[in-house]
A = this chain, B = another copy of it.
Amino acid sequence: MIIIGELINASRKAIGAAIKEKDEQAVRKVAADQAENGASFIDVNAGIFVDDEPDYLTWLVKNVQAVTDVPCAIDSPNPKAIEAALAVHKGAAPMINSISLEKDRWENLLPIVAGTDLKVVALCMSDDGMPQTVDDRMKIADKLVNGLLQKDVKLENIFIDPLVQPLSVNKEFGMQFLDTIEQITTQFAGIHTACGLSNISYGLPARKFINRAFMTIAIAKGLDGAIMNPMDKGMIAAITLGEALAGKDDFCMKYLKAFRAGLFE
């Protein structure tokens, strides 16, 4: 599982305050903790600051990179903020989170990723709004993939996000997401998928149980990336179980390691 650590997001109260106060230590600690707990990318989001987003995003990238070699996922639809962040980012290629088929977003972000080694999350969203069915999602996924490939973005750098919608709104939304993941991984061999899963349980109680079970099923359907809290032990346990049951854990070594670390108690 390719984990995109989601904790450095200005919309979270503690992080928003840390950014405003330029509290380097607070941000660096959250970055280091996520890297130590298995994050493959550290998401940085300063979206609430609007006009100052380029400055704050740049400051976030610098502070994350002060404590870890794990690359950033630059989480913004604002091309100025992304370019400012990319200008200071060092080392392994970062991720852009995220492009979509919405006209403005597509036209603003495509030139940034074209012909580069940047990773890119591509949302199954267009100006027609949220797709409702597997077919709707696949039509958008097809346009996203072809559009990116034509601009020399490598297939293995694309992370398609089919967008999770709440079960409480429609009982079919879980399977529609899961079947889309299966079709994407079958149709575009070598591509990645990624998403935030927690929207599935919106409006329901005891959400963590739903989120974990959904993760386990999604892995069996082919999901290989997630935007999540890498310090969530229960979710890491669910991922470990999903990967073992899906045949992705040689000799159950990762499962046994997680068991010895106390993840199943």
Contact = CB atoms under 8 A, between A and B. Distances in A.
A141 interface: no
Given A175-B247, A256-B205, A241 B264 contact: no
A230 to B, nearest CB: 19
B209 A174 contact: no
B172 A247 contact: yes
Given A213-B216, A214-B245, A217-B245, A255 B171 contact: no
Contact of A167 (B168, B175, B178, B244): B244
A114 interface: no
Given A204-B252, A220-B178, A209 B247 contact: no
A262 B260 CA distance: 29
Contact of A174 (B237, B246, B256): B246
Nearest to A170: B247
A159 B235 CA distance: 33
A64 interface: no
Contact of A216 (B205, B216, B256, B259): B216
A97 to B, nearest CB: 25
A247 B174 contact: yes
A195 to B, nearest CB: 15
A250 B178 contact: no
Copies in the complex: 2
A244 to B, nearest CB: 6
A242 interface: yes
Contacts of A168: 251-252
A200 B172 CA distance: 28
A16 B79 CA distance: 72
A175 B252 contact: no
B209 A245 contact: no
A264 B171 contact: no
Nearest to A241: B213
A248 B171 CA distance: 7
A238 B252 contact: no
Which 9 pairs from chain A and chain B are nearest by CB? A206-B264, A213-B241, A174-B245, A217-B220, A175-B247, A209-B264, A172-B247, A213-B216, A171-B247
24 contacts: A167-B244, A167-B252, A168-B252, A171-B244, A171-B248, A171-B249, A171-B251, A174-B244, A178-B220, A178-B245, A205-B256, A205-B259, A205-B264, A206-B259, A206-B264, A206-B265, A209-B237, A213-B213, A213-B238, A213-B241, A213-B245, A217-B217, A217-B242, A220-B221
